[in-house]
Amino acid sequence: ILNVEQSPQSLHVQEGDSTNFTCSFPSSNFYALHWYRWETAKSPEALFVMTLNGDEKKKGRISATLNTKEGYSYLYIKGSQPEDSATYLCAFFVDSSYKLIFGSGTRLLVRP
Amino acid sequence: GAGVSQSPSNKVTEKGKDVELRCDPISGHTALYWYRQSLGQGLEFLIYFQGNSAPDKSGLPSDRFSAERTGGSVSTLTIQRTQQEDSAVYLCASSLDGGGGAEQYFGPGTRLTVT
């Protein structure tokens, strides 16, 4: 059974703090890893799709790294803002069945 | 441009009734996905369409669930003889193609409550 683990489950930080979360996934048969942000009452929104070992992607204050050999990805948020409050999901793409296996997410709350 | 739309946004139904959920993907997106999120659970993959074909239906939870896609566009997810454990938010997503490198665009979801 393919398992995608995310930690921590939830995180409370102060505005201005930098933070990071972890996504662990199977290191064999890697094809792609996705990160999504899911704000309350909205739809999940894609942040990054990562396909290569050593990939580093950045979008504004948010960045992500990928290590396919050891099966983990980190998501970093620099200088957190209240609008960053959301659940951050990572998902492992299974090439053989075209399905995304999602982790349970990290719920981030940024206090003003 | 228009995003992925789903209808209805909310559906309350009695146990044993059939329900149909609809998804309109982004125009030109060949791949379409259905997921659900049950209370306290993560997003669970249900089914994937490339064009009108669903290569793998093994993610559907039971034979009460079926899905179709017509004209390479609109998709419907049908749940027959609904049970209380079917209560969940059902999300649809589409992407340009079915490859793992394509980000998925999600709709707002349908919240299904089975009483």
pLDDT digits (tens, 9 = 90+) for B31-51: 999 999 998 888 999 999 998
Nearest by CB to residue B109, choosing from A43, A46, A49, is A43
Contact of A105 with chain B, judged by CB distance below 8 Å, is answered with yes
Instruction: Classify the C-alpha dihedral A77-A103-A109-A37 as positive or negative.
Output: positive
* Residues of A whose CB is below 8 A from B44: 102
Q: Give the model's pLDDT for residue B57.
A: 83
Residue A87 β-bridge partners? A38, A107
pLDDT tens-place string over residues A54-98: 899 999 999 999 999 999 999 999 999 999 999 999 999 987 778
Local structure of B85: helix, strand or coil: helix
Does the pLDDT at position B14 exceed 60?
A: yes
Give the pLDDT mean for B59-73. 93
Asked if pLDDT for residue B1 goes beyond 70, the answer is no
Within 8 A of B43 by CB-CB distance, chain A residues are 44, 89, 91, 100, 102
A:64-93 residues touching chain B, CB 8 A cutoff: 89, 91, 93
Which residues in chain A are closer than 8 Å to B105, comparing Cβ atoms?
A: 46
**Distance from C-alpha of A36 to C-alpha of A41, rounded to nearest angstrom:** 15
pLDDT score recorded for residue A75: 98
SS3 B94: strand
Q: Output the pLDDT for position B93.
A: 96
